[in-house]
Amino acid sequence: DAGVTQSPTHLIKTRGQHVTLRCSPISGHKSVSWYQQVLGQGPQFIFQYYEKEERGRGNFPDRFSARQFPNYSSELNVNALLLGDSALYLCASSLEQGQETQYFGPGTRLLVL
Amino acid sequence: GQQLNQSPQSMFIQEGEDVSMNCTSSSIFNTWLWYKQEPGEGPVLLIALYKAGELTSNGRLTAQFGITRKDSFLNISASIPSDVGIYFCAGRRGTYKYIFGTGTRLKVLA
């Protein structure tokens, strides 16, 4: 079975631009979470979506938004990019919301110049 | 953002040695996870722990959920070169938010 997939794998943007990152969860998984991982640090929680609704949000500005589609795939949008947004963006899926483990995709490496 | 404290921060060990690392928090968690991440990849789940005091093994890896619910431990026995990577703990409180540790970078010398 396919694991979590993310696209694109790498992306270069300039300050002020916006970006859309995509994630397809493991088949049958209904919950998707997004994380930002800056080089040398652990992942930081951005959002969790379950059944197409936002169920949790981390300490990130409103420039960050996301949505989940009926097929449980998800998009993360970042507007007005800043240099500090350069990071590996990870998507994780889990079967249900609640006491379940999560599985990560390979990430999208975003570089903001 | 908030991160859990992991120690050691990095370690070099000889192949065949056992490795121990830990993760501590000032807050209680109801789930602890351990992940391994290699360069350019996403974290891969190694072990999940759900109850205080729980001890769980996955091959040469053994992890424990601390009885205070504020810490967790990971041991790797008889390390091999492919154990190289960054090991992250993650604690979950509530239903959705995982907080990750700062990572332990492991390098194995053949």
Q: Is B35 at the interface with chain A, CB within 8 A?
A: yes
Give per-residue burial for B98-109: e unless 16+ CB within 10 Å, then b: bbbbbbbbbebe
Chain mean pLDDT for chain A? 93
Question: Which residues have a Cβ under 8 Å from the Cβ of A35 and sit 6 or more positions away?
Answer: A43, A44, A45, A46, A89, A90, A91, A92, A104, B100
Judged by CB atoms closer than 8 Å, whether chains meet at A109 and B40 is answered as yes
Question: Taking CB atoms and an 8 Å limit, are B95 and A42 in contact across chains?
Answer: no
Kindly determine whether residue A104 and residue B100, on different chains, have CB atoms separated by under 8 Å.
no
Q: How far is A16 from chain B (nearest CA, A)?
A: 23
Q: Judge whether A102 and A3 are in contact, CB under 8 Å.
A: no
Using CA atoms, how far apart are residues B50 and B69, in angstroms rounded to an integer? Answer: 10
Compute the distance between CA of residue B32 and CA of residue A1 in angstroms, rounded to an integer.
Answer: 25
* Nearest-5° Cα angle at A67, A23 to B32: 65
- Residue-level pLDDT at A100: 67
Residues of B in contact with A98 (CB under 8 A): 95
Contact A51, A30 (CB under 8 A): yes
Parallel, antiparallel or unpaired: strands A10-13 and A108-112: parallel
**pLDDT exceeding 70 applies to what percent of chain B?**
98
Q: In this predicted structure, what is the pLDDT of residue A53? A: 92
Q: Would you call A99 and B3 a contact, using CB atoms and an 8 Å cutoff?
A: no
Out of A31, A56, A105, name the one closest to residue B97 (CB): A56
Q: What is the pLDDT of residues A55-108, one digit of tens each?
A: 989 999 999 999 999 999 999 999 999 999 999 999 999 887 665 688 999 999
